[in-house]
């Protein structure tokens, strides 16, 4: 069990959103994605980004989560596309991402959905995220 004092609500950078070609089951809440396409529009370079009830991590960050024994998600493939805005203004190379399909239970795993569809994470998750160089996210106590 994870102590409530060690659980935070995470709000990562949202540099884009769900793209055409995503397959979603809307019969549940939050919706369940069966295949995910994410379009980057503006990105500040953080290794963790969010969209509508989904989280993406760079392959390198997910490896760090795995090495640290972070629980509560399944790593799945995601197709990341780049908006015309991104192509015109940014040109920064985009590393490969994976989709962190959150499956954890609150207070049991390091990452879980709350009843309000917010992302709850453990202090351990936050520590790995910070050590990976993420800067554009906020956390608040659960």
- The 10 Å CB-count burial string (b at 16+, else e) for 109-128 is bbbbbeeeeebbbbebbbeb
Q: What is the 3-state secondary structure (H, E, C) of 102-133?
A: ECCCCCCCCEEECCCCCEEEEHHHHHHHHHCC
State the DSSP H helix or E strand holding residue 31, giving kind and residue range, or none if neither: none
φ, ψ for residue 129 (rounded to 5)?
A: -60, -45
Domain ranges within the chain, ordered by starting residue: 4-141
Q: Where are the alpha helices (DSSP H) in 1-142?
A: 59-68, 84-89, 123-131
Return the pLDDT at 130. Answer: 97
Return the pLDDT at 91. Answer: 76
Q: How far apart are the first and last CA of the chain?
A: 15
Rg of the chain, C-alpha, whole Å: 15
The pLDDT tens digits along the chain (142 residues) read 888 779 999 999 999 999 999 999 989 877 889 999 999 998 999 999 999 999 999 999 999 999 999 999 999 999 999 999 999 988 789 999 999 999 999 999 999 999 999 999 999 999 999 999 999 999 999 9
Q: Say which residues have a Cβ less than 8 Å from residue 107's Cβ, sequence separation at least 6.
A: 1, 2, 4, 7
Return the pLDDT at 92. Answer: 83
> Whole-prediction pTM value?
0.93
């Amino acid at each position: 069990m994870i102590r409530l004092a060690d659980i935070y609500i995470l709000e990562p950078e949202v540099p884009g959103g769900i793209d055409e070609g995503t397959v979603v089951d809307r019969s549940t809440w939050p919706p369940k994605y069966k295949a995910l396409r994410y379009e980057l529009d503006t990105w500040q370079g953080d290794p963790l980004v969010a969209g509508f009830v989904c989280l993406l991590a760079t392959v390198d960050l997910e490896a760090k989560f795995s090495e640290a024994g972070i629980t509560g998600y399944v790593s799945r493939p995601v197709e990341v596309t780049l908006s015309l805005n991104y192509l015109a203004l940014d040109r920064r190379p985009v590393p490969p991402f994976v989709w962190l399909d959150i499956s954890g239970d609150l207070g049991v795993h390091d990452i879980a959905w709350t009843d309000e569809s917010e992302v709850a994470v453990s202090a351990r998750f936050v520590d790995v995220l910070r050590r990976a160089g993420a800067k554009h996210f906020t956390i608040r106590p659960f």
